[in-house]
Structure 1
């Protein structure tokens, strides 16, 4: 039986694995891929020690650190977890089963969908959730970005190098992105800001996206915008189904509730990063939470614990 299994290989999981290796723990890191959302992050400007680094380079640096600590992630998907005597049994898509005393969920989150007609049909054919991957395909084309937070503005910033013009839609009456991003983006003549607007439908010719139907929430007017790209940046949906199955308490948004030591409501189960109810969903906070969670697990396994969340 392992001391710990870490599920998820984003910044939280990688950070936890490096600390686990330093503590000489008997553990496994199981993940579908290494890097998580960071691999799609574009340029990263707010991580300590890096004035500017792109997501792919940053993931390569994290992998280099893991190799130095002799951490070998198991590239597989955890599909089920069962409580057993003294811990848990973790089952993967490849049919492997591993037993462990504790579990650390670092499962991150996926992009939220608009859930509108045409969205699924034209995903990958105009509708995108990865501006880093897809921005170059929209050279000299009209596009729309949905979301007035940092991720939406970062998408617009990258699209400025390619698109002919960019509609920036936000459902509320103000943009929430950092001031420095707002200044950089909104001064461009290519950007057409549309506050209090929502997208109702994605329309195309059966092959590719050709337009979106939008609604002005103030006037209730509905009209069509001719765009060939729709970038959806409206937040993240936490990957917490396995935690929920184990009885772990979640918020109304589906996030794992943790205490200040990353413990969940279930003994032996911990969580860190974007899958939890921490306020700031940032790369640097995920990495810090992963380290903190590991130190908490190590302490609890070594010295025991008198109380739980």
Structure 2
């Protein structure tokens, strides 16, 4: 079992975590970035066309640039491992993986939305090929094309309206009745967006080119099946898995996201959180911004702690 001691421990090596690492490296703070087994959502993103300075870039390539930048600082070390136990807010934070024990003055949690379970047969094989979890990211790629949104929360309604504004031909499939969907249903109807209610998607089918071609749906009230042809399916079904942080005393909101203040600080004085793990808008630019803010706040706390 390896033993590490650092000033800043960043849990997560996605955009938020790596940018926080860059800020801590620039401040010459001894920093460890803990990279878990679950890949960053950015690593699963086929193409990004709204990153400043890059007209078009694949997600894994952008993530590798972030990683190299963070590793360019001598005080920053990236190690692999998933958190299996932690004690925080006791003066010194203690975190364990299967192969290491880490103590740190401050912790920045940037674990993303966590591991996602497949809810539709064939879903995982089509991510980047017509299945997406981010309408705002990928919507512009489907202008004048048929898209379906699948889910039950207010985000479905908000993103349906956003996709309509982008010029997509928008449809919503939900297991709820139409009047049970939260959000501005009347505006959705006024825009001519079709809502197919009380239906469950059971399978996503690809064509010979490997792109999504159609979805197979089943009525929640019967065994009736229907098929719908489409160009993209946006799925809204994720529930963050932050139970390990909750057990350590970190406050979560009603959706399971980590609650933070305007400085990215959690309810524990020496613990901060940034990126998708805090909910909100799931975009790379927001993640790196929150990572920077969390790092700046953590660095300020460190100076106070060490009376510098």
Structure 1 residues 4-153: aligned runs within 5 Å: 4-32=8-36, 36-70=40-74, 71-83=76-88, 85-93=90-98, 95-110=99-114, 115=119, 119=120, 122=121, 126-128=122-124, 131-132=127-128, 135=129, 149-150=135-136, 153=139
Shift in alpha-carbon separation, 1:82–1:235, aligned structure 2, 3 A: same
Cα RMSD after superposing both structures:
4.0
Cα contact 1:197–1:214 (8 A) shared by 2: no
Q: Which stretches in structure 2 are left out of the alignment for 5+ residues? A: 171-191, 205-211
Output the CA distance in 2 between the equivalents of 1:257 and 1:129.
Answer: 33
- Compute the displacement of 1:238 (Å): 2.8
Shift in alpha-carbon separation, 1:287–1:35, aligned structure 2, 3 A: farther
Shift in alpha-carbon separation, 1:15–1:34, aligned structure 2, 3 A: farther
Matched, 1:168 2:153: no
Tell me the SS of whatever aligns to 1:267: coil
Q: Which stretches in structure 1 are left out of the alignment for 5+ residues? A: 136-142, 188-192
Tell me the SS of whatever aligns to 1:196: strand
Tell me the TM-score normalized by structure 1. 0.71
Output the CA distance in 1 between the equivalents of 2:132 and 2:65.
Answer: 31
Deviates more, 1:40-49 or 1:193-202: 193-202
Shift in alpha-carbon separation, 1:35–1:62, aligned structure 2, 3 A: farther
Shift in alpha-carbon separation, 1:80–1:196, aligned structure 2, 3 A: same
- Corresponding position of 2:301: 300
- Corresponding position of 2:188: none
Output the CA distance in 2 between the equivalents of 1:239 and 1:22.
Answer: 31
Tell me the TM-score normalized by structure 2. 0.71
Shift in alpha-carbon separation, 1:176–1:92, aligned structure 2, 3 A: farther
Deviates more, 1:279-288 or 1:29-38: 29-38
- Corresponding position of 1:240: 242
Shift in alpha-carbon separation, 1:273–1:244, aligned structure 2, 3 A: same
Q: How many residues align?
A: 267
Output the CA distance in 2 between the equivalents of 1:177 and 1:113.
Answer: 26
- Compute the displacement of 1:100 (Å): 1.4
- Corresponding position of 1:140: none
Output the CA distance in 1 between the equivalents of 2:291 and 2:194.
Answer: 36
- Corresponding position of 1:190: none
Cα contact 1:146–1:168 (8 A) shared by 2: no
Output the CA distance in 1 between the equivalents of 2:157 and 2:225.
Answer: 19
Output the CA distance in 2 between the equivalents of 1:268 and 1:299.
Answer: 11
Shift in alpha-carbon separation, 1:151–1:112, aligned structure 2, 3 A: farther
Output the CA distance in 1 between the equivalents of 2:21 and 2:55.
Answer: 25
From 248, 257, 260, the equivalent of 1:258 is 260
- Corresponding position of 2:200: 200
- Compute the displacement of 1:226 (Å): 6.9
Cα contact 1:3–1:26 (8 A) shared by 2: yes
